Chain A
């Protein structure tokens, strides 16, 4: 079963625009991560945010976490065609667990 739900399921934007995708989850978490997947191949880790953090930045990526609403958002600024991919959030319930539960993903298409 999936823990998280990404919203929207699909997003199409023009190059240079910002892309925002959201992740909602069901239970309390220790940390939340965002991954990118190109063309159904391996996933690439983008950023990790812990439950006691509210915002993190990495290059053109900005992640927020609202534990009261059990939601997170990923913002990609100044998008490029190379950002076209599926984006997934993954949550870990506790520091002692080794299991990450992935959401259903947002398919982002950046048009040149």
Chain B
């Protein structure tokens, strides 16, 4: 049973560019959440997708957008990259019920130069 997978594992971009990160949830899971984790900090909630819709969002600008596909996989898009977007991006999947237990992927480490 495959766990949560994310791609790519590492990425280097320059300021102003756009990036797309991908996540495949754990088998059977229908809910995907995205988190940003800056170095030395705890993860910060970006948004959550369920039934292909964003249903809750953290304090992140509109430059951060996402999508969920019918197979429950998800993408995180970040436009107009800033140096401060450099972080580990984590995807977590869960069932709608119970939704408290999240399974995290290994993350994508993004470096913006």
Interface residues of A (CB under 8 A from B): 1-2, 4, 31, 33, 35, 40-45, 48, 88, 90, 92, 97-105
Contact = CB atoms under 8 A, between A and B. Distances in A.
Chain B, interface size category, equals: 20 to 34
Nearest to A31: B100
A103 to B, nearest CB: 5
Contact of A44 (B37, B99, B104): B104
Given A2-B42, A2-B44, 11 more contacts: A35-B104, A40-B88, A42-B107, A43-B43, A48-B101, A98-B50, A98-B55, A98-B56, A100-B45, A102-B43, A102-B44
Contacts, number: 61
A4 to B, nearest CB: 8
